[in-house]
Amino acid sequence: MKKIKFNYRLIVFQDITNKKYFFSKSTLNTKYNIKIKNKIYPLYKMEISKYSHPFYTLNIKNKKKTGRIEKFNKKYKKYYKL
């Protein structure tokens, strides 16, 4: 039987948009390294992370001011009498 060796190590994941980073263990192969507190870690650059995703940051651009019921009542107001 063949033994498969994984390079399971501590990696720095960095968000490109706001330059924040966090540590996690992974088997990813990385091209870059980063020096943090006089130690060199492998670096993986990400476009979206928990620091920049709209769901986690609550910066949802398409917030609707009126709900579904208000839109329905406004649209069909002329067809019914109160």
The ranges assigned to domains in the chain are: 9-79
Higher pLDDT, 47 or 67: 47
Contacts of 54 (CB under 8 A, 6+ apart): 60, 61
What is the pLDDT confidence band of residue 17, given thresholds at 50, 70 and 90?
confident
The predicted structure's pLDDT at residue 11 = 95
- In angstroms, the first-to-last Cα distance of the chain is 79
CA 28, CA 3: separation in Å to the nearest integer? 19
What does pTM read for this prediction?
A: 0.60
